[in-house]
Structure 1
Amino acid sequence: MRMRDVAYDPAAESEYECFDCGAVTTAKTKPESCPECGGELRNRLTPIE
């Protein structure tokens, strides 16, 4: 099985998911914190290992 990189488009919006509450936010740049609970966000295109 081959893994492929996601095409990067700097003008595209990305989805960010909150580690604490699971809320998903869409933005062009990473928000400082979750708009729902203030928790830490991660870019959903970046895998968690």
Structure 2
Amino acid sequence: MSNLSETIRQRVRERAGGRCEYCLSHQDYIMGFLQVDRWKPVAKGGAEE
């Protein structure tokens, strides 16, 4: 899991409305937990926050 702050994680969860932003499945129908990932990895030049 990335080292994003909890504030950013919460904002992403609220914006997504409990859905995966890739496939739009609701978290209630996914086996496991939704994860918050970066658009561009830090190793590939992405921002830290």
Q: TM-score range by the shorter chain?
A: under 0.3
Question: TM-score, normalised to structure 1's length?
Answer: 0.24
Q: Which has the higher contact order (CA 8 A, sep 6+)?
A: 2
Higher helix share: 2
Higher strand share: 1
Question: TM-score, normalised to structure 2's length?
Answer: 0.24
